[in-house]
Amino acid sequence: MEDKKLIFSGIQPTGTFTLGNYIGAVRNWKPLQDEYNCIYCVVDMHAITVRQDPIKLRQNTLNSYALLMACGIDVEKSILFIQSHVKTHAELSWILGCNTQFGELSRMTQFKDKSQRHADDVNSGLFTYPVLMAADILAYNADLVPVGVDQKQHLELARNIAQRFNQRYGDFFTLPEPYIAEIGAKVMSLQDPTKKMSKSDDNPNAVILILDDKDTIIRKFKRAVTDSEAEVCYRDGKDGINNLMTIYSSVTGKNFAEIESEFSGKGYGDFKLAVGEAVADHLEPIRTEFARLSADKAYLKKCYTEGAEKAIRYSQRIVSKVYRKVGFVDKT
């Protein structure tokens, strides 16, 4: 690999990507490939921190891999792989866990949220999830991590873990920086615009999936919760409209002033339809490419096998050094 900064990011195969995943994270991954060395990963080991049906998990993992390719991740430019294929992540995770405090993990808001939502299964993986995420990143000594704003706290923890390791064992890990988009870092639910749009929302109308067809997308936007003012403008308290404007802006490239003048004097009905159409048109090529790729299982297998081989080679070098640093005896 050439001497450029290294990007690492991951996405969970807990279902089809939402428009939130796309605008907040995945969409930004594509242009980064031209400027940086990029490593992207479908994090199936993270997904099992909440109960998964094994058959669906396998299908969702393969679909997520194909979807990343359909969104423009190019296996010639980047390393794209499935997390469970690369054992160094779990190995490093154990060592990092021994350098992470119980108190730090207890403060993670995602743990607090998810342990409430899955009160019948507050397993230790859910608690130590951020340690595995730190391992994903540090196994490659990544410089930058493109994520949505909800992952910022996990990233700060990864930096703290790296820093503590460096203090104990001598400078080794790069401290990773978050890379968060200015617009769309938190796309909100269409039904409750104070909550983030999430794959695991029970209300299908709250979430646009990037494989939804045009009619479905338009229908969901028509039902989006707004306010009673009938004025398309970005202002505090107009959570629903602010969210639709953010979405419209990120798929059309128009800024908020342009959007306000485009819809001045028009009702929310016109605006919602325009947002729905713009999103559907933007996503159409991804749907087509996904259909093409997922029909070619042999090609997908070749891609994820080669991706894993490259990731193993890269991370093994780093994790072997970590083993030596903590005092494990060399095997060879």
Active site residue 297: no
* Residue (of 46, 24, 1, 49) closest to 136 by Cα position: 46
Out of 61, 128, 151, 242, name the contact with ligand LTN by CB under 6 A. 151
Smallest separation (angstroms) from ligand LTN to the CB of 145: 5
Q: What is the DSSP string of 226-258?
A: --SS------TT-HHHHHHHHHHHHHH---HHH
Residue 10 lies near ligand LTN (rule: CB under 6 A): yes
Residue 13 lies near ligand LTN (rule: CB under 6 A): no
Give the integer Cα–Cα distance in Å for 232 and 235.
9
Q: What is the DSSP string of 303-325?
A: HHHHHHHHHHHHHHHHHHHHHHH
Q: Which is nearer to ligand ATP, 202 or 330 (CB)?
A: 202
Give the integer Cα–Cα distance in Å for 258 and 273.
17
Residue type, 299: Y
- Centre a 10 Å sphere on the Cβ of residue 159 and count the other Cβ atoms it contains: 19
Position with the least CB separation from ligand ATP? 24
Residue among 5, 30, 152, 199 flagged as catalytic: 199
Q: Which two tokens stand for residue 24?
A: 């907040």
Residue 12 lies near ligand LTN (rule: CB under 6 A): yes
Residue type, 137: I
Residue type, 263: F
Give the integer Cα–Cα distance in Å for 153 and 156.
5
Residue 64 lies near ligand ATP (rule: CB under 6 A): no
Out of 77, 196, 222, 325, name the contact with ligand ATP by CB under 6 A. 196
Q: Interface residues for ligand LTN in 177-206 (CB under 6 A)?
A: none
Neighbour-count burial of 145, counting CB atoms closer than 10 A to its CB (0-12 exposed, 13-18 middle, 19+ buried): buried
Q: Interface residues for ligand LTN in 45-104 (CB under 6 A)?
A: 46
Smallest separation (angstroms) from ligand ATP to the CB of 209: 11
Out of 133, 206, 232, 241, name the contact with ligand LTN by CB under 6 A. 133
Mark 136-175 with x for binding to ligand ATP (rule: CB under 6 A) and - for no binding: -----------xx-xx------------------------
Active site residue 196: yes
For ligand LTN, which stretch binds (CB under 6 A), given 5-13, 93-101, 224-232, 243-251?
5-13
Give the integer Cα–Cα distance in Å for 76 and 266.
46
Helix H, strand E, coil C: the string for 64-92 is HHHHHHHCCCCCCCCEEEEHHHCCHHHHH
Residue among 152, 186, 196, 310 flagged as catalytic: 196
Residue 141 lies near ligand LTN (rule: CB under 6 A): no
Catalytic residue annotation:
114, 196, 199
Residues engaged in binding ligand LTN (CB under 6 A): 8-10, 12, 43, 46, 133, 136-137, 145, 147, 151, 154
